[in-house]
Structure 1
Amino acid sequence: MVSGTITPSPSFNAETAAEKLRKAMKGMGTDEKTIIDVLTNCSNAQRQEIKLQFKTMFGKDLISDLKSELRGNLEDITLALMERTDVFDAKELKDAMKGAGTDESVLIEILCSRTPEEIAQIKKTYKEKCKSNLEKDVMSETSGHFRRLLVSLLQANRDTGTAVDADLARKEASDLYEAGVAHWGTDESVFNKVMASRNYAQLRATFQAYKELAGHDMIKAIEKEMSGDVESGFKAIVKVVMDTPGYFAERLQKSMKGAGTKDSQLIRVLVSRSEIDLADVKEAFARDYKKPLAQWIKGDTSGDYKKMCLAIIKESA
């Protein structure tokens, strides 16, 4: 059973939470510890209640107050926690395509990992909040087979069932083999059709049938046959299908690996998975990188930002 690190507080009281936050930001100085405690011990839905209650009680906007009191990465992660999840994803996609150049890794992470229901809601929210059409923006910022993959995913039309057709799995494994290794050049459209439309259980059966047929796994096949963003996109789908916590553990590790920390990536994964499967991501991280996630965070972040990250994963500072 997948599990997050943040769950709804059974003793939640929006009025009490709003009062605590007001007190933490009133007068000289800011009580960051209280802000961290309040926001990481209730669910996203409960935080939305706090926002409403805060404005009702004090006639002030909680987000504006947080912005005026916090700085840097602590401000960024706090504001991320305060956004509805679909709003946060929509804004992350917009930011990834803003200005010169596009951060394709953000498009891949979000669009290759969210459920059809989540993608449908993100599209709607994107139109409302960003005053633009997500599919059109993605098409204008990407090209070729990578664009086709993202457009396919944006239809939010993947089968969400769990039924497995063994004959179909063998047939589509053969189709993928013929379109890749056995083909002069690669017919990415075959990969696109299978990867963007089948349910996860069906895809796992197809990937297993492919391994038996080809003698290597689907990741190896994609690495052999593709390059660039389309390779990254298809590999992300395979990883999410086979081991979703492992995929996000890898995203966290990459955000902290080497010189400097990719804080926007670290924040996005911690916040977006906090109520879904972050407890499982922590386990996958320790399994794959032989060191607890908390230890990596402690080595790559500092101050109250570090405390907030650790509070989200439910580890002590």
Structure 2
Amino acid sequence: MGEPTIGPKDGFDPVEDGTKLRTAMKGFGTDEQAIIDVLTSVNNVQRQELRNFFTTEYGRDLIKDLKSELGGHFEDVIIALMLPPVEYLCKELHKAMKGIGTEEHALIEIVCTKNNDEIKQIVDKYEEMYDRPLAEHLCSETGGDFRRLLTLIITGVRNDESEVNPEKAREQAEALYNAGEAKWGTDEEIFNKILAHESFAQLKLVFEQYKEVSGNTMEQAIKHELDGELKEAMLAIVECVQSPPAFFAKRLHAAMAGVGTDDRTLIRIIVSRSEIDLGDIKKEFERIYDKTLESFVKGETSGDYKRALVALIGGA
């Protein structure tokens, strides 16, 4: 189990916190800091209780009230916090495929990092929200081996058994080697089949065996043999098998490094991992980049947006 930065608030009282939120938004001006303090000190289950309190006590929709009071990326963070986690990820998937062009990075980050149970929740919720199967929408927005990989994952083919099979791992490592480095051209189908079907525990063993068979790491092989979105998706799976916190730390760094900040990715990872393993991601970020995640975020964001993210990270 990972180390979250947000957990349930001890002695939580929806009446007390709900009243604070109402006061923060009532009258002239908005007390943004009060909103940050309340919503980053409780977990998502408790935020849903605050929503219910607003409806029963004031006859108001808390999310609508927040949207009318806030703006910009600060509003994005606060609304992301208020949505149930699966609903939020479905919205992010839908946004990534809406309109012209597709945000493959977002699809990869959400789909390739989940186990079967998480995928099933997303698939069910997506169809409920958009009256369209996620598989169909993904198929219309992606192509080739990348589409095949995503489709395999969201149809829940991944083996979730915790038992690992060392003999099979050796065979699979050899199959991957023969499908890529050992031949001219690459048989993407073999890569898709193994990386989409096997449990993360089994894949960990396969990748260790691969190093013995080939002399190269799985990452090196993928970088050499594949390209485009398929390469990025396969690397995401490999990194998540080895260390989800390191994968997300690298994604956060990429979202903030270079010209301009990828705010959507920054918000999505910090909000969606805050109750799972953001504490571990922080440690990995500092280990890899020799700089704290908090200081990086402070340098790339400003105002209420910055304060909200820093509060979620667990900084001062």
State how far apart, in whole Å, the 2-side matches of 1:47 and 1:250 are. 29
Q: What CA deviation, in whole Å up to 9, does each residue of 1:97-121 have, x standing for no partner?
A: 0001000001000000122111111
Return the alpha-carbon distance in structure 2 between the equivalents of residues 124 and 70 of structure 1.
31
Q: 1:133-172 CA distances to partner (integer Å, 9 max, x unpaired)?
A: 1100000100000000000010123222321111011000
Contact 1:91 1:130 in 2 (8 A): no
The equivalent residue for 1:28 is 28
Name the amino acid aligned to 1:190: I
What is the CA deviation profile of residues 76-133 of structure 1, one whole-angstrom value per residue up to 9, with x for unaligned ones? 0000000111101101000000001000001000000122111111111111112211
For 1:271, the equivalent position in structure 2 comes to 271
Distance 2:201 2:118 in 1: 19
In structure 2, C-alpha distance between the alignment counterparts of 1:46 and 1:217, rounded to whole Å: 44
State the secondary structure of the residue aligned to 1:67.
Answer: helix
Asked if 1:310 is matched to 2:279, the reply is no
**Rounded Cα–Cα distance in structure 2 between residues aligned with 1:133 and 1:163:** 31
What amino acid does structure 2 have at the position aligned with 1:186?
Answer: T
Distance in 2 between residues matched to 1:131 and 1:17, nearest whole Å: 35
Paired residue secondary structure (1:259):
coil
SS at match of 2:243: helix
Task: Give the corresponding residue for 1:140.
Answer: 140
- Name the aligned partner's letter for residue 96 of structure 2: A
Q: Which amino acid aligns with 2:18?
A: A
Indicate yes or no: 2:252 matched with 1:252.
Answer: yes
| Ranges in structure 1 where 5+ consecutive residues have no aligned partner | none
* Cα distance in 2 for residues equivalent to 1:222 and 1:255: 22
Look up the match of 2:164. 164
Number of the residue aligned with 1:300: 300
Distance 2:227 2:157 in 1: 26
Matching of residue 235 in structure 1 with residue 235 in structure 2:
yes
Q: TM-score, normalised by structure 2?
A: 0.99
Q: Deviations over 1:50-82 (max 9, x none)?
A: 101111100111011100110100000000000
Alpha-carbon distance in structure 2 between the residues aligned to 1:229 and 1:56: 47
In the alignment, which residue of structure 1 is the partner of 2:103?
Answer: 103
Tell me how far apart the structure 1 counterparts of residues 133 and 202 of structure 2 sit (CA, whole Å). 31
CA distance in 1, matches of 2:250, 2:22: 38
Identical positions, percent:
47
Cα RMSD of the aligned pairs, angstroms, is 0.8
Please say if residues 9 and 42 of structure 1, whose CA atoms lie closer than 8 Å, have aligned partners that are also in contact: yes
Question: Is the Cα contact below 8 Å between 1:15 and 1:54 reproduced in 2?
Answer: no
- Corresponding position: 1:39 with 2:43: no
Q: 1:135·1:151 contact (CA, 8 Å) conserved in 2?
A: yes
User: What is the number of residues matched between the two proteins?
Assistant: 316
CA contact (8 A) 1:77 1:267 kept: yes
CA distance in structure 2 between the aligned counterparts of 1:188 and 1:253, rounded to whole angstroms: 29
**1:88 maps to what in 2?**
88
- The CA deviation at 1:17 is 1.4
Give the TM-score, by structure 1 length.
Answer: 0.98
The whole-number CA distance in structure 1 between the counterparts of 2:47 and 2:233 is 33
Residue in structure 2 matched with residue 185 of structure 1 by the alignment: 185
User: What letter is aligned with 1:204?
Assistant: K
Cα distance between partner residues in 2 of 1:156 and 1:264 = 27
